[in-house]
Amino acid sequence: MKVNEYDVIVIGASNSGGMAACAAAEKGAKVLVIDKMKSTHYLYRLSLAAVGTKAQKKAGIDIDKYQLINYLCAFAQDNVDQKLLWTWVNNSAATVDWLEDNVLKPHGAHLYAQKDAHYQTLINTAFPTEHDVTNKQHEDIFYGNWVIEKAQELGADFLWQTKLEHLITENGVVTGLIAKKMATSEVLELRAKKGVIICTGGYGSNEALMQKWNPLGLKKNVYSDSPRDDGSGQLAAVEIGAWRDEEPAEIIFDRGAVPVGTNTNDYYVKSWEDVGYFWLGSYPLLKLNLNGERVGNESAPYEFDMNRATKQPGYLQVALWDDATMNNLKQFHTLGCARLNWPGFYNTDENKEEINNRVKEGFIQKANSIAELAQKLHLPVENVQNSVASYNQMCEQGQDTQFGKEDFRLVPIKTGAYYGAIYGGRLLATLDGLRINTKMQVLNTQGQVIPHLYAAGNASGGFFWGSYPDHVPGLTASHAQTFGRLAGQQAAN
């Protein structure tokens, strides 16, 4: 068995791991990064949150950080470590500015700070934290390889397709790890004098772990969009006594169209391909349960859409709309990554194209009448007709007397062609993880530091609880990058 010695070893080369490697190498540490896959280029995300960046100052954005943290605590019912939230808010700008100055600008890219955080209702409270990675042509810019190149330029070594199996401890101190080369099954012993940083993300594609740590997540999600998330990094830490969050947290898109008749117990597609993608799911369209009844105000964070579905039979929802709606998407004034046009992802034509593709594939139904649509969706026809009629009446009156949706989001369904999609959640990532302190040191079940073990990003916990606050856009990737950077700095000390 080969033994190699470094100061700091980072496990995982994505948002948290790449930033940890750059930060530790900047401090002069001899750094090794291992990742079980071949590349992490597309995992570095386009929408990043921060408070007080250069881009925000230039755009005149001033976020009250006390108000923001207060909101995040309320959102999580205080099931968080408030000191971690403050650690993020006080370090996010330095991290995002570092990324822009050292990684993006040398390649002709920059950050666009998004001002719009319009909301009218308490449930939709929003903050203009979003930065989009772009260039002068307003293109979406993937920058993952540039972060890796920067880490290499600073002296970090990389071993791809190399998987952490177990951590090594001596007298309770983490001194290294056992890893396996994925291609050859060769086993490596790697030694770290100063620290090992776990940046291995979540566990959403490991169904056994989902069953154990987040069983309801398996029911409300029909897709896992992070197929490499197997929880192996967290398990290696738990094996040596690390403490984990005791309740789940997750980031979910309400965009997972499924074939009619799907039972969520049998359907859990783990892929990052475009299977069943239904971007319009995040629009506050008329939404019904599988009995054809409207069950709540559809205008809420993405995750809440799927939470609402857990109180309904079948754990799924049905969205209904018509051609006129498709021509009127601007009226919904959606924000974050559901925004229409740049810096969102789709414009009207692209949304229409996606719907047409899903119709051809059988994920979305199209009909000439509401009755025909209900039949195609296998829903009780009369219930659907009644729900649509009463919704249309409220749209005409300009007031949602049933559930109080904002009036500007009331768009009737009456001109055909009519569309319907049955959909569930797309689990982007699990967000509950290893308990850490503000130095990113992993704690044991007694709340004491496990010497020389650090964690960041979705492998770490204490920051989120339950649903993801998507009205603080870009928070997960920024949490990963900011805490990765701090972990790298701390481990290199």
Ligand X SMILES: Cc1cc2nc3c(=O)[nH]c(=O)nc-3n(C[C@H](O)[C@H](O)[C@H](O)COP(=O)(O)OP(=O)(O)OC[C@H]3O[C@@H](n4cnc5c(N)ncnc54)[C@H](O)[C@@H]3O)c2cc1C
Nearer to ligand X, 418 or 483 (CB): 483
Closest CA to 369 of 378, 380, 381, 357: 381
- Best CA proximity match to 432, nearest among 141, 212, 184, 123: 212
Tokens of 39: 């590349």
Q: With binding defined as CB under 6 A, does residue 176 bind ligand X?
A: no
Other CB atoms within 10 Å distance of the CB of residue 253: 26
Q: Does residue 50 bind ligand X (CB under 6 A)?
A: no
Interaction mask 396-435, ligand X, x per CB under 6 A: --------------------------------xx------
Question: Residue 320 interacts with ligand X (CB under 6 A)?
Answer: no
Helices (H), 158-213: 207-213
Q: If you ran DSSP here, which 8-state letter would residue 261 be given? A: T
Least distance to ligand X from the beta carbon of 144, Å? 9
DSSP 122-143: GGG-----EEEEE-TT------
Binder to ligand X among 16, 221, 351, 441 (CB under 6 A)? 16
Angstrom distance (rounded) from CA 308 to CA 151: 43
Residue whose C-alpha is closest to residue 429's, from 88, 21, 43:
43
Nearer to ligand X, 130 or 400 (CB): 130
Task: Rule CB under 6 A: say whether 46 interacts with ligand X.
Answer: yes
| Residues in 434-473 that interact with ligand X by CB under 6 A | 457-459
Contact call for residues 27 and 493 (beta carbons, < 8 A): yes
Residue showing tokens 């000191």: 83
Rounded to an integer, what distance in angstroms lies between the CA atom of residue 145 and that of residue 126?
A: 31
Binding residues among 54-113 for ligand X as defined by CB under 6 A: none
> Under the criterion CB under 6 A, does residue 224 sit at the interface with ligand X?
no
Q: Which of 31, 33, 43, 174 binds ligand X (CB under 6 A)?
A: 43
* Cα–Cα distance measured from residue 167 to residue 152, given in angstroms and rounded to the nearest whole number: 24
Please report, as residue ranges, which positions from 130 to 169 form the binding site for ligand X (by CB under 6 A): 163-164
Q: Does residue 228 belong to the site contacting ligand X (CB under 6 A)? A: yes
As measured in angstroms, the least distance from the Cβ of 199 to ligand X is 5
Q: How many residues bind ligand X (CB under 6 A)?
A: 40
Told to check if 281 binds ligand X by CB under 6 A, we report: no
477 binds ligand X (CB under 6 A): yes
- Interface mask (CB under 6 A) for ligand X, residues 19-38, using x and -? ---------------xxxx-
Residue sitting closest to ligand X (CB): 457
- H/E stretch holding 204: none
Cα 349 to Cα 137, 292, 301, 329, distances in angstroms = 19, 29, 24, 11
Task: Find the shortest distance in angstroms from Cβ 400 to ligand X.
Answer: 30
Cβ neighbours, 10 Å, residue 68: 18
The tokens describing 334, both together, are: 């959606």
Please give the sequence-ordered ranges of beta strands (E in DSSP) within 116-241, or none if there are none: 130-134, 157-160, 162-170, 173-181, 187-198, 221-224
CB closer to ligand X out of 344 and 420: 344
Check binding of 13 to ligand X (CB under 6 A).
yes
Pick one of 6, 9, 30, 45: the residue that binds ligand X (CB under 6 A): 45
Is the CB of residue 484 less than 8 Å from the CB of residue 459? no
Instruction: State how far the Cα of 395 lies from the Cα of 409, in Å rounded to an integer.
Output: 9
* 14 belongs to the binding site for ligand X (CB under 6 A): yes
**Piece of the chain touching ligand X by CB under 6 A; list 44-52, 58-66, 276-284, 321-329:** 44-52
Binding site for ligand X (CB under 6 A): 11-17, 34-37, 40, 43, 45-47, 163-164, 199-201, 225-226, 228-229, 232-233, 251, 337, 428-429, 457-459, 474-478, 480
